[in-house]
Amino acid sequence: MKIKMLFMMMCVAGLAGLCTAQPLSPGQDKLMAKRAAQVDAYRKLTEEIKGLQINSTTYVRDFIAESDQINSSFSEFIKGLKVDGQPRYMPDGTCEVDVKVTLQQVMQCLKRINLDYPDPKRTRMSFDQMGQYTKKTVYTATGVGLPPSQKPESMAPKGTDMKTAGIPGWENVTPQGRLLAERAALTDARRNLAETVKGLKVTGNTYVRDFVVLNDQIQTSLNTFINGIKEDGPYRYLPDGISEVDVEVTIQDVVKQLNTLRTHYYAGFPPQSVFHDVTFEKIIDWGPPKMIKATGNGAVPPKGYLRGKPAASSASTGEAQSALPSWAGQSARATGTGVPREGEAGTAARLNTERAAEAVARRNLVEKVYGVHIDATTTVRDYITVNDQVRTQVDQFLAGANIVGEPRVMPDGSIEVELEIPLEGLWQIVSGSTVAQGEGE
């Protein structure tokens, strides 16, 4: 009997192996691509919904994280949403689908889960008030999926991405590689847009970033707003596997969002708050045109190529890659510490301390970058002392350093700020200038 059972199991395993070895039909390929796109759309929609506020201090993500049962019920709700419209199949075989949900549906789902899994420790929660914290009533996410035949491990050398065919540097890029580059470009564009928004002036000496740093919830809400902004126009595919995309938002929408945040987070706050009576409409007088735009870039990662590496578009490209120093692929980081001014307290003290910490971090970052060795005997400092043009370019490059994470408040009241900047841009400045000097000689 045991021998018979073992024989049957071996037969089943053999049949399974034969089934998996057989190529999928075009219809099966499209169905698998659609399913992958749905999973991607569900993931994006879940992240957006988790960022919604239930009340002034609680987000949907906080409610979902209370228990595995609540999380499972919420996941079942998301997976039960149907595709909005028809799937869109691209020439390269990828599939795009839209999944839509209304705020009313989300509130009903949360109410039902709350009834199914009551918790005596949980304060009485009214999900109906969610409508007070957002004017957006419909949420849509677009998912992108690849059919099994388009996955890198199953693609033949000729199975490159039709969307980028003929573009130098994209010869061996898979559809998955293109999607990863597009996703990186969109993330970069949103990050750049956030920096522009935070740099808008509210008054003569106050910026939006000063308002944002007051409260982690304000920071989270603004990030959720920025991450909800979609790409403006098609992606552009530059040589050497770089994707580029634009995002934009009207300054009126920014003002509306900031006013909403102030109203919610300062309800009941002490009147002495420096932003309690600020009129964000003044941004229109200080800021750029009514439309704020930002561009992001993303590169195809090594796993996005058919043979695990990019195709060299020319001999010079290969030479440049081989000459690239190891530090050019790294990032420089520096930390700065700010100390509160004597006799200063409250919000103003925190803002001034963070600014001081950032200023120190920038000075430290400059020293670190200036000490980078271009070759065995020459540092960046040595190089820029004899070339004013390069000094200007390096200074502009360093101005693009970004704050890593949130400022850290120390037990003694001091604040630490960490800055980071990729060194690839520095190598482009230095190497380009070196070539120019060589040609001049």
DSSP assignment string, 70-89: HHHHHHHHHHTPPBSS--EE
Chain-centroid distance of CA 190 in Å reads 7
Give residue-wise pLDDT tens across range 299-350: 887 777 776 455 544 444 444 444 567 777 788 888 989 888 777 777 667 7
Give residue-wise pLDDT tens across range 363-404: 888 888 888 877 767 788 877 776 777 777 787 778 778 888
Chain-centroid distance of CA 315 in Å reads 34
Domain residue ranges in the chain: 26-147, 175-312, 323-440
Angle at 377 between CA 371 and CA 383, to 5 degrees: 55
pLDDT on residue 92: 65
Give me the numbers of helices (H) and strands (E) for the chain, helices first please.
15, 10
pLDDT on residue 106: 92
Which of the 8 DSSP states describes residue 291?
E
DSSP states of 406-430 as a string?
SPEEPTTS-EEEEEEEETHHHHHHH
Reference 431, options 368, 361, 356, 375; nearest CA is 375
Instruction: List, in sequence order, every residue forming a beta bridge with 295; answer none if it has no partner.
Output: 246
Question: What is the pTM assigned to this prediction?
Answer: 0.49
Residue 170 CA to residue 189 CA, distance in Å, equals: 21
DSSP states of 20-78 as a string?
HHSPPPHHHHHHHHHHHHHHHHHHHHHHHHHTSBSSSS-BHHHHHTT-HHHHHHHHHHH
20-56 burial: b if 16+ Cβ within 10 Å, else e: eeeeeeeeebbebbbebbbebbbebbbebbbbbbbee
CB distance 197 to 208 below 8 Å: yes
CB distance 336 to 372 below 8 Å: no
Residue 164 backbone dihedrals phi, psi, to 5 degrees? -115, 15
pLDDT on residue 123: 64
Residue 360 CA to residue 286 CA, distance in Å, equals: 27
pLDDT on residue 100: 92
Length of the chain measured in residues: 441
Q: In what order do the strands lie in the sheet with 242-250?
A: 236-238, 242-250, 291-299
Residue 334 CA to residue 367 CA, distance in Å, equals: 9
- Residue ranges in the chain modelled with pLDDT below 70: 1-24, 26, 91-92, 121-124, 149-162, 204, 265-276, 285-289, 307-324, 347-348, 376, 386, 432-441
